[in-house]
Structure 1
Amino acid sequence: MLYTPIKFRNVELKNRWVMSPMCMYSCNDGMANDFHFVHYGSRAQGGTGLIIVEATGVEPKGRITNHCMGIWNDDQAEKLGKIVDFIHSNSESKIGIQLAHAGRKGSTWNNKQISIEEGWETVAPSSIPYHPSERIPHALSVAEIKEIVQNFKNAAARAVKAGFDIIEIHGAHGYLIHQFLSPLSNIRTDEYGGDFENRIRFLLEIVDAVNEELNENTALFVRISGTEYAENGWDIENSVALAKILKEHSVDLVDVSSGGNIHGAKISVFDGYQVPFSSQVKNEGDIRTGAVGLITKVEQAEEILQKGDADLIFIAREILRNPYMAVQGSFEMKEDCFFPHQYTRAKISS
């Protein structure tokens, strides 16, 4: 199954390998540069079915650090478009971008919050910092929430113009959307807080706004944390319920990760530790999912697909170590996979 095509709207992926979005902290003013061109381009040369560009801020305050990617202006989108064009012209890979807002987890460097002078005032659904030592974030007004929704919409329009095949909305890892989802970080009493329906409202408004900029040639994914490993917090049952609603709002796949919103949460980490969350969301939510989390071997990835635990395999650290993971896996499994014609002499025949 790893080398079986799969289609989302009119976007066909040649295989099920996905380069998971991973922050590179290498931009100035949110602008992609030569590093990013080589970084993403090399994974396309390695046969990866889908490459997703790192968390990309929809506004300057939406970044995690001063050196994170941005798409809040046309110059940034134009730089990204050159990467998109190269991948489309020189591989069979598709390319997506993860639109993000860090919320209270922004204005940091090396996992520590930096001063307002160096960074910015962070925002959140409620005035609750991620860590007690950090500044209290500004609680967003309804008008400010609407403005951020519009920023996601504008960013999606730029991404479509740049040629991206897939848009992923980042609703995981304790960033702004996740902060709204969780009753532990969202204690609002208006229409964006309180019960489950109100806490998911911000995400659904973003999904609907982004979808207005898409058509059948650009698919929509949403990344969520299946659980935040905290009592009375966001859990897998909430994720299943959300997935059912996201499907009704024309979301094509839920990318299921976990954690990130509660400082000090105890997480048991082992190979494939998040796959059960993907499986439950897929099978109970009746929606396509992506599995991520210490998936490092071809046999492991194939088994996940064969068991029906996911539809796509998102690879992070392993694809940093090995940009050619997809094509090398095809050699092992005697399957066809894109390999640059310039490298034909190195191809292992099946």
Structure 2
Amino acid sequence: MRTNNIENSKGISFDVKGLKIPSRFFFAPINTGLSENGVLSEEFFEFYKERSHSSIGINYIGNVAIDPKYVTNPNTAYFTDQTSQWEKLTKLIRKRGSVPGIQIACRNSSLTPIRRMINNDVETYLNTVRKDLINIPREEIQDIINKFIDTSIKASKLGFDVIQIHAAHGYFLSQLLSKSLNIRADEYNASDLFFLKTIINGIRDKKPNLIIDLRISFLEGIKNDIQEKKDKEDLIKKLIDLDIDIISFSNGIYDVNKQLIYPLEQWGHACFLENIIEYAYKYPNILWNYAGNIWGIDILGLEELPNNLSFSLGRALIADPLFVEKSINNKTHLINRCEHKNKCHYYSLNLSHIGCPIYELNKNTID
């Protein structure tokens, strides 16, 4: 991977497999809830259109399920026979100046996703997931692996240049990666990464130049932080030997503690950034991505950070789709800032799709 300076901005661009990613700031993958039976609504298109600019390097379509039976909630997106809508979307994102990315995901659990932010009965969750993983047949795991490969290849054909494999937040691949959850002793154990290698090699066989991103939860919220960091250090040593272009850090398990996924305001700006910086310095040929509580680009201290470190923004860009553009053009006084109204956590509020009072109040000012 090569990095190049962008003139007149606080960002840098990346050259990955011959594709220029125009900015180090990405729109984080988000399950918007703006689709029904796999069909994308007009609101879905508008949501991603407004957050596509040359100041946004990759615009990730979040949480696209590998199959309807593996959705997170009824309004989760997935591929249907109506592929033209996805081609329209990727062309729109590219025309607006961003690189089209997609997060491929699978939730496979006997548990209904919890709505509250913190699970008060973590032991039941742990025991249920361990039992689920032990009992799932090899054939079903292999079928899920094949669906990850097939969905990624299909996404590439529909115009997506970046595929993010969702192995964070307690989704199925995240569970397989977790030594706290996966106690299988066969080839699908938590240590050998056979399932990840199979997915990545399967994609590479058909699409050798496709950019592959892997998203993991650095802190799961199960063990103490010291032990979790040690586990992730061991995991990352294995991941860098895989044919992955980007490793994205998030945190948390959805059914344990959502606050690690959506950090509290009082935890501070970029509160988990220290967990990733050392890896960016140590492994310069990987593009690393950080997400979590980024409120201001001007206070990130970019001149002190490694050039192969990128940032995914969620709430800031939901509240103001021009957050990055205003930031790098010294118009921070015009930013409509997230005020933690929490309507973006729509599922927790028993709502069907994403919302943002700050965006709704100011949307008529968006170009």
TM-score by length of 1: 0.79
CA distance in 2, matches of 1:62, 1:310: 33
* Pairs within 5 Å for 1:223-302: 223-231=215-223, 235-260=228-253, 263-264=256-257, 269-286=267-284, 287-301=286-300
1:81 to 2:74 alignment: no
Name the residue aligned to 2:204: 211
Measured after TM superposition, the shift of residue 247 of structure 1 is 3.0
Measured after TM superposition, the shift of residue 180 of structure 1 is 0.7
Measured after TM superposition, the shift of residue 108 of structure 1 is 4.1
| Cα distance change of structure 1 residues 174 and 133 upon mapping to structure 2, 3 Å threshold | closer
* Pairs within 5 Å for 1:79-158: 79-89=85-95, 91-104=96-109, 108=113, 110=115, 130=125, 137=132, 139-158=135-154
1:143-197 residue CA offsets vs partner (Å, 9 max, x unmatched): 1111111101110111011111101001111111110111221122322126x22
Name the residue aligned to 1:15: 23
1:25 to 2:33 alignment: yes
Task: Give the residue type in structure 2 aligned to 1:104.
Answer: S
What secondary structure sits across from 1:66 in the alignment?
A: coil
1:38-58 residue CA offsets vs partner (Å, 9 max, x unmatched): 000111147322100011100
Q: Percent identity, aligned pairs only?
A: 20
1:263-303 residue CA offsets vs partner (Å, 9 max, x unmatched): 259858332122122213323455321011001102134x2
Measured after TM superposition, the shift of residue 219 of structure 1 is 0.8
What secondary structure sits across from 1:223 in the alignment?
A: strand
Measured after TM superposition, the shift of residue 212 of structure 1 is 2.5
CA distance in 2, matches of 1:93, 1:149: 29
Measured after TM superposition, the shift of residue 241 of structure 1 is 3.3
| Cα distance change of structure 1 residues 106 and 69 upon mapping to structure 2, 3 Å threshold | farther
What secondary structure sits across from 1:191 in the alignment?
A: coil
| Cα distance change of structure 1 residues 105 and 237 upon mapping to structure 2, 3 Å threshold | farther
CA distance in 1, matches of 2:81, 2:111: 22
Name the residue aligned to 2:315: 317
CA distance in 2, matches of 1:105, 1:4: 43
CA distance in 2, matches of 1:298, 1:320: 15
| Cα distance change of structure 1 residues 173 and 309 upon mapping to structure 2, 3 Å threshold | farther
Measured after TM superposition, the shift of residue 304 of structure 1 is 4.5
Task: Give the residue type in structure 2 aligned to 1:312.
Answer: S
CA distance in 2, matches of 1:97, 1:265: 22
Measured after TM superposition, the shift of residue 251 of structure 1 is 0.4
Number of equivalenced pairs: 313
CA distance in 2, matches of 1:160, 1:321: 29
1:208-247 residue CA offsets vs partner (Å, 9 max, x unmatched): 222233232x311100111213327972333333334333
8 Å contact from structure 1 (residues 30, 68) kept in 2:
yes
Gaps of 5+ in 2: 118-122, 333-364
CA distance in 1, matches of 2:52, 2:290: 20
What secondary structure sits across from 2:289 in the alignment?
A: strand
Residue among 212, 216, 221 paired with 2:213: 221
8 Å contact from structure 2 (residues 164, 214) kept in 1:
yes
Residue among 35, 42, 56 paired with 1:34: 42
Task: Give the residue type in structure 2 aligned to 1:176.
Answer: F
| Cα distance change of structure 1 residues 145 and 111 upon mapping to structure 2, 3 Å threshold | farther
What secondary structure sits across from 2:276 in the alignment?
A: helix
CA distance in 2, matches of 1:107, 1:230: 19
Measured after TM superposition, the shift of residue 305 of structure 1 is 6.1
What secondary structure sits across from 2:101 in the alignment?
A: strand
Name the residue aligned to 1:340: none
What secondary structure sits across from 1:245 in the alignment?
A: helix
1:3 to 2:6 alignment: no
Single out whichever of 95-104 and 245-254 deviates more from structure 2.
245-254
- The alignment's C-alpha RMSD in Å is 3.2
CA distance in 1, matches of 2:273, 2:34: 30
Name the residue aligned to 2:120: none
Task: Give the residue type in structure 2 aligned to 1:87.
Answer: I
8 Å contact from structure 1 (residues 99, 170) kept in 2:
yes
TM-score by length of 2: 0.76
| Cα distance change of structure 1 residues 273 and 283 upon mapping to structure 2, 3 Å threshold | same
Measured after TM superposition, the shift of residue 14 of structure 1 is 1.2
Residue among 165, 181, 206 paired with 1:185: 181
CA distance in 1, matches of 2:68, 2:146: 14
CA distance in 1, matches of 2:185, 2:128: 25
Name the residue aligned to 1:307: 305
8 Å contact from structure 1 (residues 63, 107) kept in 2:
no
CA distance in 2, matches of 1:325, 1:74: 35
